[in-house]
Amino acid sequence: MAGTDRRRTRLSGGPAIVLVEPQLGENIGTAARAMYNCGLTDLRLVKPRDGWPNKKAVAAASGADTVLDKARLYDSAEDAIADLRRVYATTARDRYMVKRILTPRFAASEMRQLVAARESCGILFGPERTGLVNEHIALAESVISMPLNPAFSSLNLAQAVLIVGYEWFAAGDETPPAQLATGHSKPATKERLIAFFEHLEEALDDSGFMRNAEKRPSMVRNLRNLFQRAQCTDQELRTLHGVVTSFVGPRKRKK
Amino acid sequence: MAGTDRRRTRLSGGPAIVLVEPQLGENIGTAARAMYNCGLTDLRLVKPRDGWPNKKAVAAASGADTVLDKARLYDSAEDAIADLRRVYATTARDRYMVKRILTPRFAASEMRQLVAARESCGILFGPERTGLVNEHIALAESVISMPLNPAFSSLNLAQAVLIVGYEWFAAGDETPPAQLATGHSKPATKERLIAFFEHLEEALDDSGFMRNAEKRPSMVRNLRNLFQRAQCTDQELRTLHGVVTSFVGPRKRKK
Q: How far is B150 from chain A (nearest CA, A)?
A: 5
The region that residue B67 occupies, defined by phi over 0 for left and psi between -120 and 50 for alpha, beta otherwise, is alpha
Q: Are residues B107 and B153 in the same domain?
A: yes
A65 with A161, same domain: the answer is yes
Residue B182 domain-assigned? no
Q: Are residues A165 and A194 in the same domain?
A: no
What's the confidence (pLDDT) of residue B187? 86
CA–CA gap between residue A104 and residue A213 (Å, rounded): 60
Put simply, the answer to whether A152 touches B30 (Cβ < 8 Å) is no
B131 touches A at CB < 8 Å: yes
In the predicted model, is pLDDT for residue A5 greater than 60?
A: no
Of the three residues A171, A202, A224, the one that is the final residue of a domain is: A171
**Whether A110 and A74 share a structural domain:** yes
> What is the per-residue pLDDT for B26?
96
Kindly state whether residue B125 falls inside one of the protein's structural domains: yes
Domain of residue A212, CATH code: 1.10.8
**pLDDT class for B8, splitting at 50, 70, 90?**
very low
CA distance B59 to B47: 20
Q: Is residue A51 part of a domain?
A: yes
Residue B58 has pLDDT above 90, yes or no: yes
Q: Please report whether residue A255 resides in a domain.
A: no
Of A2, A37, A106, the CB nearest to B148: A37
Average pLDDT, chain B: 91
The answer to whether position B86 is within a domain reads: yes
Same domain assignment for residues A46 and A142: yes
Same domain, B156 and B203: no
CA closest to A40 among chain B residues: B149
Is A175 at the interface with chain B, CB within 8 A?
yes
pLDDT digit string (tens) for B95-125?
778 889 999 999 999 999 999 999 999 999 9
| Domain edge (last residue) among A116, A141, A171 | A171
State how many domains chain A has.
2
Domain CATH code at residue A87: 3.40.1280.10
pLDDT higher than threshold 70 for residue B11 = no
Pairing type for strands A72-74 and A86-90 reads unpaired
- The verdict on a CB contact (< 8 Å) between A180 and B2 is no
Q: HEC string of chain B?
A: CCCCCCCCCCCCCCCEEEEECCCCHHHHHHHHHHHHHCCCCCEEEECCCCCCCCHHHHHHCCCCHHHHHHCEEECCHHHHCCCCCEEEEECCCCCCCEEEEECHHHHHHHHHHHHHCCCCEEEEECCCCCCCCHHHHCCCCEEECCCCCCCCCCCCHHHHHHHHHHHHHHHCCCCCCEEEEECCCCECCHHHHHHHHHHHHHHHHHHCCCCCCCCHHHHHHHHHHHHHHCCCEHHHHHHHHHHHHHHHCCCCCCC
Instruction: Give the nearest partner residue to B148 out of A5, A160, A184, using CB atoms.
Output: A5
Residue numbers in B near A39 (CB within 8 A): 148-149
Verify cis geometry, omega within 30 degrees of 0, for the bond prior to A104: no
Shared-domain flag, residues A32 and A105: yes
- Give the separation between CA B1 and CA A22, rounded to whole angstroms: 11
The answer to whether residue A195 is domain-embedded is: yes
Could you tell me if B151 lies within 8 Å of chain A, comparing CB atoms? yes
- Judge whether B156 lies within some domain: yes
**Lowest-pLDDT range, A3-17, A174-188, B214-228?**
A3-17
For strands A142-144 and A86-90, give the pairing: parallel
Q: Can you say how many angstroms the Cα of residue B219 is from the centroid of all Cα atoms in its chain?
A: 42
% of chain A at pLDDT higher than 70: 94
Q: Are residues A122 and A166 both part of a single domain?
A: yes
Say yes or no: A108 and A209 in one domain. Answer: no
**Domain housing B203:** 190-248
